[in-house]
Amino acid sequence: MSSQGIILADLDGDRTWRLADYVKRGGYEALKKIIAEKIPADEIIGEVKKSGLRGRGGAGFPTGLKWSFMPRAFPGAKYLACNSDEGEPGTFKDRDILRYNPHTVIEGMIIAGYAMGCERGYNYIHGEIFEVYDRFEEALAEAREAGLLGRNILGSDFSFDLFAHHGYGAYICGEETALLESIEGKKGQPRFKPPFPASFGLYGKPTTINNTETFASIPYIIREGGDAFLALGKPNNGGTKLFSVSGHVNKPGNYEIPLGTPFSVLLEMAGGIRGGRKLKAVIPGGSSAPVLPGAVMMDCTMDYDSISKAGSMLGSGAVIVMDESTCMVKALERLSYFYFEESCGQCTPCREGTGWLYRVVHRIENGLGRPDDLDLLNSVTANIMGRTICALGDAASMPVQSFVKHFGDEFAFHIEHKKCLVPPQVQYEGSKIYVA
């Protein structure tokens, strides 16, 4: 974990998750300022817009704009949900935020609740991280105790309460409407949109869902101003962002860096490629983002626009680094298996198509590929993309399309020779557990 930013900064104590520690770092100042100065909601949303903050959950949607969709004047309940489901392979940043700095998420959510007129929020925490869940509950208790949550926060007439919801570990529950279904106690299946959550969300009430890191960025924006946040990054890509770097690097971990930092710098921070091998490919934004060849990546800066121009997505900021010892067919087989297993099964193209994709990649990997299998993969992905209820269908297709596009030769070799282009011994060396 290392930070040149705001969320993971100054977390070197051993009780950084405690309220007292957070307050020492300037925590809850933003909230206190809002309450003391009675800052109007519009002004807060304006500040968030100005900051250029884009959703950290994957889609990169401008947060201020999303907040402005909430019908503030709508009578009755309105809800806020924080998406800490973090199930995307390669992504492990929200877990660290909640583990070391939970109060920044709580403060961010209280401010969001204030700005959008919500009285209640839920933090949906991934089902397989127990310690993080317990710690968040503790943080909530601290905040309630301190009058930061509940009725009449800090003596004002603003009330907001926040609850943690522990999921069961299904990837699909990270999709925002499946997440809402799950909170409602139903099977986690995405809803068809429209209607969007801002008009028909949790229990049918207007709801805003943001990622953990998105909320965690809010206190800074309010404390220091939207412009200050924007200035941390680059235009249209405000702020710093956490990148979960994994794969064939010497120092995998979370790195908080300004958006716009060159990929090469990030790679260096992560200790470079293991064993001095050559970079082969990078998935820059979590397993659903298209893979990019190493050379292309080396020319990119880590921000939404640059990665998108290169043909991929910044996504959740999970950077999966693959060196030359990687068999791309095997890598894709693993990814395809994930989506096949995680499809909710509701809509036809994803339910039927993810299994088909996996089986075709699986047979190629196992030397049973057929000459027209690459065309078949392209055609099946084309029939899934854009035809499903939620974006999991796209998420399952993009890796397949991009692997086949950029590493088609390797797939063709597999089909023709019924074995890997990368010799097994090389793969084995590359996959050895790394001992520093």
Partner 1 sequence: MLEIEIDGKQLQVSDGSTVMEAAATVGAYVPHFCYHKKLSIAANCRMCLVQVEKAPKPLPACATPVTNGMKVWTHSEQAVKAQKGVMEFLLINHPLDCPVCDQGGECQLQDLSVGYGGAQSRYEEEKRVVGNKNLGPLVSTDMTRCINCTRCVRFTTEIAGLMELGQAFRGEHAEIMPFVEKTVDSELSGNIIDLCPVGALTSKPFRFAARAWEMSRRKSISPHDSLGSNLIVQVKHDVVKRVLPLENEAVNECWLSDKDRFSYEGLNGEDRLKRPMVKQGGAWIETDWQTAMDYVVRGLKGIRADHGPESIGALGSPHSTLEELFLLQSVVRGLGSGNVDFRLRQSDFSADGRMKGAPWLGMSVSEIAGLDRLLIVGSFFRKDHPLVAQRVRQAVKKGLKVSAINPAFDDWQFALQNQLCVSPSEMSAALAKVLKALVEQGSAALSPEFQALVDSVQVDEQALAIARSLGSGRRVAVWMGNYAVQHQDGVALHALASEIARLSGGRFGVLGEAANSVGGYLAGAVPFGAVSGKNASEMLSTPLKAYVLLGIEPEFDLRDAVAARKAFGAAEMVVMLSAFKFEEALGYADVMLPVSPFTETGGAFVNCEGRTQSFHPVVKNTGDSRPAWKVLRVLGEALGLGNFDYESVDAVRAQILGASGSVDPFRLSNDIDIEPLNPAGVSQGLQRVADIPIHFADPLVRRSAPLQATKDSEAPFARISPATLKTLGLNAGDKVVVRSVSGSATVVVSEDEGVAAGCVRLAAAHSSTWALGSLNGEVSVERI
Ligand X SMILES: Cc1cc2nc3c(=O)[nH]c(=O)nc-3n(C[C@H](O)[C@H](O)[C@H](O)COP(=O)(O)O)c2cc1C
Contact stretch for partner 1 (CB under 8 A) within 13-21, 96-104, 377-385, 403-411: 377-385
Pairing relationship of beta strands 120-125 and 79-84 according to DSSP bridges = parallel
Give strand ranges (E) for 303-373.
318-323
Contacts of 21 (CB under 8 A, 6+ apart): 13, 15
Considering the complex, what minimum distance in angstroms separates the CB of residue 156 from ligand X? Answer: 26
Q: Tell me how far the alpha carbon of residue 318 is from its chain's centroid.
A: 8
Q: Is 387 in the site for ligand SF4 (CB under 6 A)?
A: no
Q: Is 346 in the site for ligand SF4 (CB under 6 A)?
A: yes
Considering the complex, what minimum distance in angstroms separates the CB of residue 208 from ligand X? Answer: 9
Considering the complex, what minimum distance in angstroms separates the CB of residue 50 from partner 1? Answer: 29
Give the whole-angstrom CA distance, residue 12 versus residue 404.
Answer: 44
Cβ count within 10 A of residue 299:
12
User: 209 is in the binding site of which of partner 1, ligand X, ligand SF4, none (Cβ under 5 to 8 A by kind)?
Assistant: ligand X
Q: Is 392 in the site for ligand X (CB under 6 A)?
A: yes
Q: Name the nearest CA neighbour of 53 among 252, 177, 213.
A: 213
Please give the residue whose beta carbon sits closest to ligand SF4 in the complex: 350
Q: Is 343 in the site for ligand SF4 (CB under 6 A)?
A: yes
User: 176 is in the binding site of which of partner 1, ligand X, ligand SF4, none (Cβ under 5 to 8 A by kind)?
Assistant: ligand X
In order of 80, 97, 291, 292, the CA distances from 313 in angstroms are: 26, 22, 9, 10
Contact stretch for ligand X (CB under 6 A) within 55-63, 95-103, 149-157, 159-167: 55-63
Give the whole-angstrom CA distance, residue 300 versus residue 298.
Answer: 6
Contact stretch for partner 1 (CB under 8 A) within 250-258, 292-300, 312-320, 340-348: 340-348
Considering the complex, what minimum distance in angstroms separates the CB of residue 180 from ligand SF4? Answer: 13
Considering the complex, what minimum distance in angstroms separates the CB of residue 128 from ligand X? Answer: 12
Contact stretch for ligand SF4 (CB under 6 A) within 8-16, 96-104, 341-349, 424-432: 341-349
In order of 9, 80, 184, 395, the CA distances from 187 in angstroms are: 38, 20, 9, 21
Number of residues this chain uses to bind ligand X (CB under 6 A):
25
Find the binder of ligand SF4 among 392, 398, 415, 420 (CB under 6 A): 392
At 2, list the tokens. 């290392």
What are the two backbone dihedrals, phi and then psi, of residue 431, each rounded to the nearest 5 degrees?
A: -100, 5
Q: Is 354 in the site for partner 1 (CB under 8 A)?
A: yes
Q: Name the nearest CA neighbour of 34 among 239, 219, 311.
A: 219
Q: Is 355 in the site for partner 1 (CB under 8 A)?
A: yes
Q: Is 340 in the site for partner 1 (CB under 8 A)?
A: yes
Find the binder of ligand X among 7, 35, 56, 143 (CB under 6 A): 56
Alpha-carbon Rg for the chain, nearest whole angstrom, is: 22
User: 327 is in the binding site of which of ligand X, partner 1, ligand SF4, none (Cβ under 5 to 8 A by kind)?
Assistant: none
Q: Is 107 in the site for ligand X (CB under 6 A)?
A: no
Q: 40-44 long-range contacts, Cβ below 8 Å, gap at least 24? A: 41/72, 41/114, 41/115, 41/116, 41/117, 44/111, 44/114, 44/115, 44/222
Number of residues this chain uses to bind partner 1 (CB under 8 A):
31
* Amino acid identity, position 145: E
Enumerate residues 189-248 that contact ligand X by CB under 6 A. 209-211, 214
Contact stretch for ligand SF4 (CB under 6 A) within 19-27, 147-155, 347-355, 363-371: 347-355
SS3 383: helix
Q: Is 389 in the site for ligand SF4 (CB under 6 A)?
A: yes
Q: Is 361 in the site for partner 1 (CB under 8 A)?
A: no
Identify whether the C-beta of residue 297 lies closer than 8 Å to the C-beta of residue 279: yes
Considering the complex, what minimum distance in angstroms separates the CB of residue 353 from partner 1? Answer: 6
Identify whether the C-beta of residue 283 lies closer than 8 Å to the C-beta of residue 338: no
Element (H, E) at 242: strand 240-247
Identify whether the C-beta of residue 215 lies closer than 8 Å to the C-beta of residue 108: yes
Task: Name the residues that contact partner 1, by CB under 8 A.
Answer: 170, 172, 187, 192, 194, 340-356, 359, 376, 382-383, 385-389
Task: Name the residues that contact ligand SF4, by CB under 6 A.
Answer: 172, 190, 343-347, 350-351, 388-390, 392-393
Task: Name the residues that contact ligand X, by CB under 6 A.
Answer: 55-59, 61, 66, 83, 85-88, 171-172, 174-176, 209-211, 214, 390-392, 395
